[in-house]
Structure formats: structure tokens, C-alpha cells
């Protein structure tokens, strides 16, 4: 049994600057303006907390003396007890410094530094029998996190949150990468605009997505919200450690460049039910004048709690293939077994006439298992294996799946034996159709079934309106549901890959079996209208700030008309850009999403997917600009192997790739997968070159990327023969 | 393994009178008035189904040519597809007769006759692509059941019920025994009035009850709704087989003496989500000119499906005591362990200071186990054994109990060993506080904990507002929840006693491990304001029509000032009336609710509780008038023992008790527990006499019952000595 070592004692020290002052609560002082200042360890960031006239708490934030957040209110409105908005006096403040290292179970770095100065403000509402709340600010070199805390006290046991009123008053009409506020989906296409343009673009931006529930009456955007100021500041607003609370969205006052928290409501219109001790998630503002710093930030992970599990030895990153993309392209196969249109779990599916197009057949799954085993994959996802897919969607149907009954042509035992003989796992699929109550009812039997049949990971799905009816994907109840599923899965040694769940907030630190999530527009949309070429240059600055994404890259057959079934859809990238994603889109769970027959036609390019690591000792963000390009280098965990991925948007560009992260004094072989000269996302997208060159830590590569293209590089130490044979860069 | 034998082949025959006619669907016929008539096997009841102008379905019902239900509309309004209200043509009708016997797993009779004539009407909506629904009428000698059926068809897969519009247009201003319509509670005190008086009494009737949600805007009452017409007809309206549908309440038009179905809504205001094949529960109208026939009716049971379980050998009636009444009287003890007011399941309760008044201690439980073992009880209920009782109520708190963690002074293992040594079971208690989602999440571990620790029955509770928030105790989601709990319990060999669940509708036939329910005002209210002396003469005609009640009778210390803790409450019965309840209030689960020390003072009277059977070969309702009196005789299952119970309301009366149900030609000893001459519910309530007399099938007893009093009789064959020694009645 390996015990999670969080935090490691190495490099750990905690210094209490301690209790600065404790105000005598005289009437005279009660409502005067009082300010507290906190600076980041490197002094670049400065936070000021101020209690304004009337006892209204506010904060402001500067970076290198530039305003990031202008004076902004803090507070919560409650539904059942007096509000937490004003009438506060300062009861106490305390400053602390923490500087420690800790090791994630898996991740982008072997070791993470958690270094911040903290200001803990205790506020007292005299008119509410001296009721107290706290606001805890943690200022890192890369940004600010703060949260509200409600200590256990006689004056406050339980309360209902009506709304949180945290303001983010921005300093100008920033450029922003955004999707519309919505209680149920994160699968909108990104918009790039100025803050002031948001209201005018809202209607267009709120295009149709399954089970959507856009925020009405006020323009709003989702987090992670990525902004760039006219004077070059990069600002990212999100949250960390979303537990027992609804997700935060941001209302936008486009005239004053202000944002304000808007929590996702429950079925009766309340936002959250809290019991003291309680705290909100952390509100996070990552700031830098370098875009690469935003991607390198570990602030959100640092604000999450260490792992909740004793034994984490069974948690492993997973590289997988799947009976999946064939459902999206060409109508090659289907999730459903028959063409019935009205089925129940009690039906005898063996009595239905098979459509002949069912994907999850023994024969087809074996084909994937063979290929996956031959090429060293850990697992094969199989969707559509269980009864109920004939009419699973859009019915708000509670008993939609049972997670244990296979279709007649999916022989669980035969495939278990076959997969074991090949040394490959089958990845379970639990689509809930949003019927979370049904899933919870069946969770223990479903996980027991997995355990009995050798499945160690599951892709969960929430496509549809939520049951409990009236609840939303991103509300407090569902937030707790996803965590309940992750924790229960851990009891069975099962890893989770959740789709359509609330977007991540770094909880994979605490629940490391929750390997990855979707919670954004992923590869599947390439078959349904396509993704914009800049989509994946935005995702790392938005969705991925919260945690890994199961983006499902690796599509080689990019022109879907290839299948001859009338589709004229195109995947809007070059083939090489698909390779680069394995590095630019960090995830401990990576899929090779295309079908074996497509990989077989490009085995030399497929070699990169086979080799690329999915867990890392270290990461270097080499170049980045949201909406334009991202280039990242990573060192494989425990191996002298490095991988580089670079992508660009619809514009061709020359990537500048240093190798200074390689240990000095040695020579390495870099295998460079590059777009062909004639390639672009619109034409000759499968054109690529592969070359090998010798590099050292001093080398520097100028690599041309096609429009909508990319570059992928694998690096390892050169053998003597290679040093003779290969040319230097 | 014993297999449930439902229905038995004995006495079974099915005769299809068959297909009467199938209309040619000509335009000419489409909307003309068409009537179908069905009579009960004994010809007393006559149902007429009529398709009125515009294709509106209606029915009417007569009993011995007296109108029971005047022409009343049938139909449903849907939220997403065209309504099922009008535009129907008659596509087909079919009549069938069934006459069979079946044997319940446990019950009031060993064998039940199911004898009815059925009319199945198929209706077609031409304007909705020929969409069809069916209405199935079953006419028994004791009443009518009918339901809507929605066959699987291309035109109808899924739909949302907005409201059911079933009318019950009554023939006059009947006397009615009623409680106000409410989505969450059945624990109102009964009102007795004329139909026309309901609106005027509604405010008074809607007194405060925990977690109530009275129907707004229209006077409404709950079912079972018991009425009596001026010309002596007894009419009872309820429902049977409430599965996957909300409970029906009745809106009252007090001017026209009309009632109309009103379904309990869900969190978003819809009433039900159905998938074809689907059907509503049966709407039941039990009718007779004899009140005793109402209580003898098995119509609701007959309309439920046979047991869903293969193995029912583990399902046994239970007579039990409990650490329970001491919580209600005198503040003798408490559910909570400590005086903390803000606790969570994560707290270390051993760190809290015990209040010294905790009821579920090892010592106290052993006292009950000793007494229960000595007197032949099956089980001892223990409430307040598990952590969380300090602040469990009224917080809408989701993680309120975990059902597996005992308080520090409740040693599960020690009590398991002790109970086993005594041959008594401990009855588990699962209070959910209405947090059904929390219960479902923890259900499997909770039942596994029971299995591991030797518990075979559980009392469940739903005191509080429901979670999923916005759902109601009596809505479709919770209806499914209770059944889910019962079915899951069956997987673990566990029997259920549900409190605060939706009132029963005969589902104990299908799920016989769901032994009993509360779902009405039970004995606990005697400590909280008291029950009216006529309450238990009404319950058999209302609440008990649907199924057994865990009324928790047997209180001997009726004056609660006895405890000297300032309470001046009185249990509003004589001691003997408490004995009579074991016969008049049928249940396979019967509690001796008082404390051992109180029974010890009246061991001769306690003898009746020790002896009385809880499962029966047969039942004879000897006398009954709702609101006035009930006298019932029953034969113990498989034994030559008979028990008689008689109760009266606030008026003294002379019960007329025949013995003609005893086999002729033998002499029996009747032990008669009678109110003392000076007894009444208000004074000398503990005064009683016990005498033994010889009776035969020809005997007839005139027995005086005190005001608020009763009589209890046990009967067995006389020995020779007794025949000599005892006098004849």
C-alpha cells in the first residue's frame, strides 16, 4: 500500500507572522473605514481588504501596481437568516506565510510548490448577536484565492444561501474568451470579444446545446473566464475546491466592466444549504503579464485539499482506445442494439430484432482489444454495451439504464476472458442521461459488477436534464453527487472519467481517482459542425485551468466524407495538430480516439501516440497566447523522455522551441512530427513529415506550423550509433 | 424455500364473455353518445360507461338502483402531448369475469376471493393519429375499481401528466370523515361533517403538522375518504396499487357534492412521467349499505398484483416492544446522546458530553430485551441508536444520518450477542428526516450493516421536508422511493415498517415485506395534545382501508401526569380499549408500546397482549359504524384461538358480540377483558375486569363498553376441568 504523501515534509516550513491586532470593539470604531494589506511573496501582487462605511467588506487587487480588481464588494445574501452583506466590524486579522512542496499522485509536475501569504479577516455583525464570518485570502505569486468561512457558533448553525455577491470589478474593457452562463452545460463554442461586446453577442453565443439552461435576464459568462487587458495583463477568474456548493457563474456589467458571482440554483430557487463550520469554494484570480505563467499556475491545485484516500496505489493514468468515434462518423455503428423506439429495462432485448449496426459486439470489441494490446494501450472504452440505448435521450426518464445488463451480443464473460488474455482492460461506460437518482440507486451494484468483471475505470455521462427534476448539472446537489460517485468508486478501486459533469476546480488533488472530465466542447463536436481552429488554443486557458480534460484527440481520418455516408464534415485540424494535443491538452487519461483501421494507414505518425507519456515529472510552457497558440514541453514521469507539443489557430506560424529543459551535457534524439509544407486544416490535412535530429539543451528549433496545424516532438537520449548517423539540429 | 402461491389454482376460473363489439369507425358514429353497462356478480352494483358529445368519457355507478356516482368525467391532461380528455371514439369493448381464490403471505384471512366482472374500454383519438387509451373497470360485489391504461403504440411513447381529471360526482350532501388535502402529511386529526361544510372547516382542519404542504386555492381532502349518505349508503373512495404515479387527493366542490382527482406535484409542478405501456393506479369506490362490509372489503388487495418475490419464507409478522414511548412521555429519555445543537456525521461523538438522558444505551436496551424475551415478543425497536439526533429535524439537511454509526453508549456487538442469547431481535430504526437521497445513497451499506448484525426488520421514518428539494412525500418520485426501499430490503431479507410515507394502497400484497406503515395520526399524538376518542373508530374506515398501520397501541399508563414531569396529557382511552386495538387495528406488526415497568403493574391485562395473534385465518366484522364503534372477531392463523376486540367513541355503549364464527358443537373458554364499571376515558381509565366464561357458537354476549372504552376477548377450546369449573355465558 502506498500512502499519499501530501504534503511532503521536504521543503516545508510554516511561519506564522501571527496575529497582527485584535480590535477593541468600541462603538466609535464600529463603522469606520478600515483597511488591511497583503502582498504576494514576490511583492508583485498586492491585495487590500477594506471595510467600507456601513461595515461593507470590499477588496482590491493590483499586479505590479496595475489595478487587476478595483474596489469590489464581498458578501452573501441568505434566504432564512439575516444577510452577510453589511454591518460588519473587524474583529480580528491574522497573517500567515506558507511555503511547502507536495507531490501529486499524478500530474504535470512531480512536485508542486505551495507558497503564499495569507490574510484571515474575522468580521463581526454586532446587530446579529455578534455573529462572525471570516474571509480568508491567500496571495500567491501567480494570483489570489479567497473564500468565505462560517465558523461554528451559537449564532449560526444552518443557513440557506440565496446568492453570493462577490464582485470582480475589472480595470478596463478587457478582451475575454467566454461561453454564456448556463446552469446545465459547458459545451458552448468560445467567443472572443471585449467585455463591452458581451451583451450584443449573447444571443449568438447561446446556440443550441443539449439540456441547456442559459441564465436569463442578465448577461453572464462561465468560469474559468480568461481575460487580457489592453496593457498586457492576463487575468483568469475561476474557483477551487467546489464542494457542497453550487458552481459560480459571472454576471457581466458590460458598461462598467464589472462581474459578479451568480450561483446555480436548486429546484426551489435556493442556491445552497450550509451548516457551520462551512466555507465557500475559493474564488481564484490568476494574474500575470505573461500568458505562459497562466498555464503554469498551480494555484487552483494548491487551494485544494490533499488526497482524501489512504491507499492510492491503484490509481494509474490510462491511455485508451474506444468503440466510440465510429458512432459519430459516418453512422458506421450505433449505441443501440435494435431499432425499437420505446424500451424499458424489463424488456427482453433478445426478442428484439438487431439493427445489424450495433457497435458493442463481441467481434468489434475484440478487434479494438487486439489493436490496443498490440500497441500497448491500457484500456478500450466500450459504449453502448448495456440495454436501454434505443430511447435513452430527451425523455427525462428515470430508469433509463441499469449499468449491469448487457445487450445480447455483448458477452461480458467472454470479453473479460479475452481482455485478460490480452492484458488490456475494458473501460466501463455509465451513461446516466442526467438521471442521477437512478445512478445513485444502482451505484453499489454497478461498481460491484465492474469489480466482478475486471473493470477498473468508468466513463460516466450526464447527457440530459437532471433528475432530481428541477436540479441542474452545476447546482449544489449535483456537485455533491459527482463527489459521491468518485468517493464510492474509490471504495471499489475504480477510476472516473466524467462527461457533462460540472467543470473541474482542482478536486482531482483530493479525489485522484477522478482522473479527468469532459465539461467542455470536445472532439465529438468535430463531427457535429466542427470546432473552431482556435478552440484548443483557448481551452488550456479556460476549461483546463480547473483540471484535466478527456478531450479524446488523435483523429487521423480528418475528412469525414471519407466514409462515403454523405457527411461533408471535417475535423478542423491537421493530423499533426492531433498529435500535439497529447502534450498541449494535459490529462492523465488520454484517448486515441480514431479507429484502428485509420491508425493502420499512418503507423509512423501513430508511433507518437503510442510513445507519448501520460504522467509527468515536469512541464515547461514554452509559448502561449490564448486564442492563438500554445507550445509545451514535458518530461515523462520517471523516464529520460521528453515530449513537446505545439499548436496554432487558423493562422500558420513559426514556433520557437528551446530545449533548455534537457539536462546539459548530453545529446538527444528529437523525433519531429511536422505538418507537411502543403498542409492546412482545410486542405492536405494528412500531410506530415517525420524527421530525427540530434539536440542538446542549447538547441533551438524554429518550426513552421501550418494553418490549423501543430508540431509534436519526442526526445530521448541518443545512442552512439545515432550520434554518428543523425545530423544535429 | 417457500414460493408465494398467488393466485392459487383452487377455485380459479376465468370466463371470457369476450369481445362484445368492435365499432366500424365511420365519421357518422364518431361523436355520438355511446353507453356500456357492467353489473357486479351479485347484480347490486351497476356501472355505466358513456362517451358523451364531443367524445368525452364518463361513468356512473349505482348500488341497488341508488346513485353512488352520478355522471362523472374521466380523462387526463398532459403537459407535453395533446390531452386525453375528449375527441374519443369507442374502438373496442371487452367484458370478462374472474372468480378466483388466492392466499396472502399474511393477513386478515387465509384465503381471499377475487370475484369481479370487468369492462375494458378502448378509446381512440382520431385527431391524434388514432392514439388509443383504455379504461379498465372491475366491478366487485363490494365496489368498483378502474384505471387508465396507455398501451404501447407508435403514437405514444412518453408523456408528462399535468393533471388527472377523474370526477366523483356524489349523489348528495353526504357525511364525510376527512382530513385536509396535503402533499406531505397524513397526520391531521379527522373531521366529521357534511360535504357542504368542508370549505368552512378547512382552516380549522388544517392545523399545524410537521412538514405539511396543504393544497392551496381549492378545498381538498385526502383518501381513503369515507362517506355516508342520508339514505344509508357507505361509500369509500381511495386508490389501489400506487406505483410510479403520485398519490391522488380529492378536490371538493361542496355546492354540487362533486369531487375531482388532484395529483401531488413534483419539484417543477408536473404530476407524473409515464412511458407506455403505462397505467394509473386503480381508483376505488367501495360501496355498501352495511358499514361492516366496508371493513370486510378486500377490493383494494384484489386490485394489487401478486407478490413480486420468489422467496417469501423469511417474511414473518412481528410483535415488538421498543425504546420509544419513553421519548414521548415525561421527557424520560431522548433520542440524542448529547446536548450539542450543531453536529455532523464526521464529528467524534465520543468527545461530546453525554446528556445523561440518552434512551438507546446498552443498559436500557437490555432491560427491554429481558422483558421482551420473558414475555415472548419477537423484537425490540431501538430509536436514537445512531449519531445525528442532536439536530436532525427541520434543517432540510441532506447528510443527516448515516444509518451505520452508533452512539458511543450503544454497543452494537454487545447487544447483538445479548439479543441472540435471549432469542429476541433488535428492530433497526432508519429515520431519514425526509432526506431520501441521503438514504438511497446509503441504502446498501445500511442494509448490509443490518444483515451483519442480525437485524431483520427496520422502522423507517420521513419526518421533515423531502430531499430531493421540491419533491413531496406523496409525489411520484417518493412513491417510487418507498417501493425501491422495500424491494432493496427484500434483497437483504429485511422487513419494513415505514412512518411518514405515502399512505398505503394495498401494495403489501405485492411487497409483503412492507409489513406496515404509519401514515396517519398514531399513538404518539396522545402525548402531544391527544387523539379524539372517535379517532380509532374512523381509522379502520379511512387509513386502514389501504393497509396495516403501525398504530403502536398498548399504553397502560394513560395519565401522563403520572411521570411527575409537569405533563397533564392523557391518553384518551381506557386501558381495555388499548387491548381491543390489537384486534380492531389490523396489522401483522404490532407493538406493545408502553414501558416494561407499566406492564409489570398490570400483568393480568398484559396477558392479552402476550397472547393475541398477529396473523389470521379469518376475520368477522361484527359491528361497525364509522366515528362510533367497531367490533371485530378473528381466528389466529393455524390455531384454534379466536380474539375479539370492540371499541367505542366518547359514548358508552353495549356491544352485541355473537360467537357464531366458532365451530359448532364445541365449548370454548372466553377470557373477557372489560372496562370497569367506573371506567371512562376521562376517569378511572385503568379500571378493568377480567372474567372467564364458557361459550359456544350459539352464545351471544352483551358487553358494556365505557365511554372511550372497549372490550377484548380471547377464546380457546375449554378443557374438561374448565367445563366443570367455569360458568356458561
CATH number of the structural domain spanning residue A52: 2.70.98.10
| Grid cell 492510492 in the structure block, residue | A312
- Res A25 pLDDT > 90: no
Residue B565 — very low, low, confident or very high, per pLDDT cuts 50/70/90?
Answer: confident
Q: Can you read off the three cell numbers belonging to residue A69?
A: 480588481
The pLDDT, as a whole number, for residue B329 is 86
* Predicted local distance difference test score (pLDDT) of residue A20: 34
- Per-residue pLDDT of B344-375, as tens digits, reads 999 999 999 999 999 999 999 999 999 999 99
Please report the pLDDT score of residue B9 as a whole number: 37
Q: Which residues of B are catalytic?
A: 524
Residue of B160, B273, B484 with shortest CB distance to A441: B484
Confidence check: pLDDT of B169 > 50:
yes
Which of A302, A332, A355 is the C-terminal boundary of a domain?
Answer: A302
pLDDT interval class at B106 (50, 70, 90): very high
DSSP letters for A95-126: EEEEEEEE--SSSS-SSEEEEEEEEEEEEEEG
pLDDT beyond 70 at B84: yes
pLDDT of residue A124: 98
Residue of A nearest to B477 (CA): A468
Residues in chain B with CB shorter than 8 Å from the CB of A451 are none
pLDDT tens digits, one per residue of B312-337: 999 999 999 999 999 998 778 999 99
Q: What is the pLDDT of residue B7?
A: 41
Nearest-CA residue of chain B relative to A478?
Answer: B468
- The strand pair at B457-461 and B425-431 is best described as parallel
Residue of B nearest to A438 (CA): B440
- Region of residue B446 (left: phi > 0; alpha: psi -120 to 50; beta: else): alpha
Q: Which residues, 6 or more positions from A673, have their beta carbon under 8 angstroms from its beta carbon?
A: A576, A579, A605, A608, A688, A689, A690, A711, A712, A713
Instruction: Out of B267, B342, B440, name the one closest to residue A470 (CB).
Output: B267
What does the DSSP assignment read for A566-597?
S---B-SS-HHHHHHHHHHS--SEEE--S-HH
Residues of chain B with pLDDT > 70, as a percent, come to 95
User: Dihedrals φ, ψ of A661, to 5°?
Assistant: -85, -10
pLDDT given at position A24 = 34
pLDDT of residue B1: 37
Any domain includes A6: no
Whether A17 maps to a domain, the answer reads no
What integer is the mean pLDDT of A209-225?
A: 96
pLDDT band at A77 (very low <50, low <70, confident <90, very high): very high
In the prediction, which pLDDT does A469 show?
A: 98
Domain residues for A264?
Answer: 28-302
Residue given cell 545512442 in the structure block = A719
pLDDT greater than 50 at residue B3: no
Region class of A241: left (phi > 0), else alpha (psi between -120 and 50), else beta: left
| Summary mean pLDDT of chain B | 95
* Distance from C-alpha of B255 to C-alpha of B142, rounded to nearest angstrom: 28
In total, how many domains does chain A have?
2
**Binning pLDDT at 50, 70 and 90, where does residue B457 land?**
very high
Which residue in A524, A545, A657 sits closest to A237, CA to CA? Answer: A545
pLDDT band at B20 (very low <50, low <70, confident <90, very high): very low
Domain annotation covers residue B495 = no
CB B511 within 8 A of CB B308: yes
Separation in Å, CA of B123 to nearest CA in chain A: 21
- Residue B470 Cα, gap to closest chain A Cα (Å): 6
For B590, the 3-state DSSP assignment is strand
pLDDT in tens, A316-345: 999 999 999 999 987 789 999 999 999 999
Residue A32 is predicted with a pLDDT of 57
Identify the domain boundary among B252, B282, B302.
B302
Q: What is the pLDDT of residue B568?
A: 87
**What's the pLDDT tens digit per position in A120-164?**
999 999 999 999 999 999 999 999 999 999 999 999 999 999 999
Report d(CA B406, CA B426) in Å as an integer.
14
CB atoms within 10 A of CB B203: 10
User: Which pairing describes strands A688-695 and B56-63: parallel, antiparallel, or unpaired?
Assistant: unpaired
In a domain, B246, yes or no: yes
**Which alpha helices (DSSP H) does A261-411 contain, by range?**
291-296, 299-302, 325-328, 362-374
A524 part of the active site: yes
Residues of A with CB under 8 A from a CB of B: 152, 157-158, 160, 266-268, 270, 273, 275-276, 341-342, 344, 391, 395-398, 437, 440-441, 443-445, 468-471, 477, 480, 484
Task: Single out the catalytic residue among A94, A100, A524, A685.
Answer: A524
Q: What is the pLDDT of residue B650?
A: 98
- pLDDT tens-digit profile of B588-627? 999 999 999 999 999 999 999 999 999 999 999 999 999 9
Q: Has residue A286 got a pLDDT over 70?
A: yes
Q: Is residue B180 part of a domain?
A: yes
**Which of residues A11 and A551 earns the better pLDDT score?**
A551
For the segment B257-280, the average pLDDT, to the nearest whole number, is 98
Residue B25 has pLDDT above 50, yes or no: no
Residue B330 lies in a domain: no
Residues of chain B in contact with residue A470, where contact means CB-CB under 8 angstroms, are: 266-268, 468-470
Q: List helix spans (H) across A381-459.
A: 412-422, 436-452
Q: Which residue of B has its CA nearest to A446?
A: B444
Say what the pLDDT of residue A18 is: 34
- Interface contacts A/B by beta carbons within 8 Å: 92
State residue B32's pLDDT score. Answer: 58
Q: How far away is chain A from the Cα of B637, in angstroms, using its nearest Cα?
A: 36
Q: How does pLDDT run across B633-681, given as a tens digit for each residue?
A: 999 999 999 999 999 999 999 999 999 999 999 999 999 999 999 999 9
Q: Write down which residue in A302, A332, A360 finishes a domain.
A: A302
Distance from CA of B341 to the nearest CA of A (A): 8
Q: Is A214 a domain residue?
A: yes
pLDDT of A259 higher than 50: yes
Average pLDDT over residues A255-281: 98
CATH assignment of the domain containing B627: 3.20.20.70
Question: How close, in Å, is residue B441 to chain A by CA atoms?
Answer: 6
Kindly list the residues from chain B whose CB atom is less than 8 angstroms away from the CB atom of residue A157: 341-342, 391, 395
B139 within some domain: yes
Chain A interface mutation, best of B153, B468, B489, highest count of A Cβ atoms under 10 Å: B468
Average pLDDT over residues A378-391: 98
Q: Best interface-test mutation with B: which of A470, A475, A491 has the largest number of B CBs within 10 A?
A: A470
Q: What is the pTM of this model?
A: 0.94
Name the phi and psi angles at A272, rounded to 5.
-165, 155
- Omega within 30 of 0 (cis) for the link into A615: no
CB B595 within 8 A of CB B558: no
Q: What is the mean pLDDT of chain A?
A: 95
- Interface of chain B against chain A, CB under 8 Å? 152, 157-158, 160, 266-268, 270, 273, 275-276, 341-342, 344, 391, 395-398, 437, 440-441, 443-445, 468-471, 477, 480, 484
Predicted confidence (pLDDT) at residue A11 exceeds the cutoff of 60: no
Amino acid at each position: 500500500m502506498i500512502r499519499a504523501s501530501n504534503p511532503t515534509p521536504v521543503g516545508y516550513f510554516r511561519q506564522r507572522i501571527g496575529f497582527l491586532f485584535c480590535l477593541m470593539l468600541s462603538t466609535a470604531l464600529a463603522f469606520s473605514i478600515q483597511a488591511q494589506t497583503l502582498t504576494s511573496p514576490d511583492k508583485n501582487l498586492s491585495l487590500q481588504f477594506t471595510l467600507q462605511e456601513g461595515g461593507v467588506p470590499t477588496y482590491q487587487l493590483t499586479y505590479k501596481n496595475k489595478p487587476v480588481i478595483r474596489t469590489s464588494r464581498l458578501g452573501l445574501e441568505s434566504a432564512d437568516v439575516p444577510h452577510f452583506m453589511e454591518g460588519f466590524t473587524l474583529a480580528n486579522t491574522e497573517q500567515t506565510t506558507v511555503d511547502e512542496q507536495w507531490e501529486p499522485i499524478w500530474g504535470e509536475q512531480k512536485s508542486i510548490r505551495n507558497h503564499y501569504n495569507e490574510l484571515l479577516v474575522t468580521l463581526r455583525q454586532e446587530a446579529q448577536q455578534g455573529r462572525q464570518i471570516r474571509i480568508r485570502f491567500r496571495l500567491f505569486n501567480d494570483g489570489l484565492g479567497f473564500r468565505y468561512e462560517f465558523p461554528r457558533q451559537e449564532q449560526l448553525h444552518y443557513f440557506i444561501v440565496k446568492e453570493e455577491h462577490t464582485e470582480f470589478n475589472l480595470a478596463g474593457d478587457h478582451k475575454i474568451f467566454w461561453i454564456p452562463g448556463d446552469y446545465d452545460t459547458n459545451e458552448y463554442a468560445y467567443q472572443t470579444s471585449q467585455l463591452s461586446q458581451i451583451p450584443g453577442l449573447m444571443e449568438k453565443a447561446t446556440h443550441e446545446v443539449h439540456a441547456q439552461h442559459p441564465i436569463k435576464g442578465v448577461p453572464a459568462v462561465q468560469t474559468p473566464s480568461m481575460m487580457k487587458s489592453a496593457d498586457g495583463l492576463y487575468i483568469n477568474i475561476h474557483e477551487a475546491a467546489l464542494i457542497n456548493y453550487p458552481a459560480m457563474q459571472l454576471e457581466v456589467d458590460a458598461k462598467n466592466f464589472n462581474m459578479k458571482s451568480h450561483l446555480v440554483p436548486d429546484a426551489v430557487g435556493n442556491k445552497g444549504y450550509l451548516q457551520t463550520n462551512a466555507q465557500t469554494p475559493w474564488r481564484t484570480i490568476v494574474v500575470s503579464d505573461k500568458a505562459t505563467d497562466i498555464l503554469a499556475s498551480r494555484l487552483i491545485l494548491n487551494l485544494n485539499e490533499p488526497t482524501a484516500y489512504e491507499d492510492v496505489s491503484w490509481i494509474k493514468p490510462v491511455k485508451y482506445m474506444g468503440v466510440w468515434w465510429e458512432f459519430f462518423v459516418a453512422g458506421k455503428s450505433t449505441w443501440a442494439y435494435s431499432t425499437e423506439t420505446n424500451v424499458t429495462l424489463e424488456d427482453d432485448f433478445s426478442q428484439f430484432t438487431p439493427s445489424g449496426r450495433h457497435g458493442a459486439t463481441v467481434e468489434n470489441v475484440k478487434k479494438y482489444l487486439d489493436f490496443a494490446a498490440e500497441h500497448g494501450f491500457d484500456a478500450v472504452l466500450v459504449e453502448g454495451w448495456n440495454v436501454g440505448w434505443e430511447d435513452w435521450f430527451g425523455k427525462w426518464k428515470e430508469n433509463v439504464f441499469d449499468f449491469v445488463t448487457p445487450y445480447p451480443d455483448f458477452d461480458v464473460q467472454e470479453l473479460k476472458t479475452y481482455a485478460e488474455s490480452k492484458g488490456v482492460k475494458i473501460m466501463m461506460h455509465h451513461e446516466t442521461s442526467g438521471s442521477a437518482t437512478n445512478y445513485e440507486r444502482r451505484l453499489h451494484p454497478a461498481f460491484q459488477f465492474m469489480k466482478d468483471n475486471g473493470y477498473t475505470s468508468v466513463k460516466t455521462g450526464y447527457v440530459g436534464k437532471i433528475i432530481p427534476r428541477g436540479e441542474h448539472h452545476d447546482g449544489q446537489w449535483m456537485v455533491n453527487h459527482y463527489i459521491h460517485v468518485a468517493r464510492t468508486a474509490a471504495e471499489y478501486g475504480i477510476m472516473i472519467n466524467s462527461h457533462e459533469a460540472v467543470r473541474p476546480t482542482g478536486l482531482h488533488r483530493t479525489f485522484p481517482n477522478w482522473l479527468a472530465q469532459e465539461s467542455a466542447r470536445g472532439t465529438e463536436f468535430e463531427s457535429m459542425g466542427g470546432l473552431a481552429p482556435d478552440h484548443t488554443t483557448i481551452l488550456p486557458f479556460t476549461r483546463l485551468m480547473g483540471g484535466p480534460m478527456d478531450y479524446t484527440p488523435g483523429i487521423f481520418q480528418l475528412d469525414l466524407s471519407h466514409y462515403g455516408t454523405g457527411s461533408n464534415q471535417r475535423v478542423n485540424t491537421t493530423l499533426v495538430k492531433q498529435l500535439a494535443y497529447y502534450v498541449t491538452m494535459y490529462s492523465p487519461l488520454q484517448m486515441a480516439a480514431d479507429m484502428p483501421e485509420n491508425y493502420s494507414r499512418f503507423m509512423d505518425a501513430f508511433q507518437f501516440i503510442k510513445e507519448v507519456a501520460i504522467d509527468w515529472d515536469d512541464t515547461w510552457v514554452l509559448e502561449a497566447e490564448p486564442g492563438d497558440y500554445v507550445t509545451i514541453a514535458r518530461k515523462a514521469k520517471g523516464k529520460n523522455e521528453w515530449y513537446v507539443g505545439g499548436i496554432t489557430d487558423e493562422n500558420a506560424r513559426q514556433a520557437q522551441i528551446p530545449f533548455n529543459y534537457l539536462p546539459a551535457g548530453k545529446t538527444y534524439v528529437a523525433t519531429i512530427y511536422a505538418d507537411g509544407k502543403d498542409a492546412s486544416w482545410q486542405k492536405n490535412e494528412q500531410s506530415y513529415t517525420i524527421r530525427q535530429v540530434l539536440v542538446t539543451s542549447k538547441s533551438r528549433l524554429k518550426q513552421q506550423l501550418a494553418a490549423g496545424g501543430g508540431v509534436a516532438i519526442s526526445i530521448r537520449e541518443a545512442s552512439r550509433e545515432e550520434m554518428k548517423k543523425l545530423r544535429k539540429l
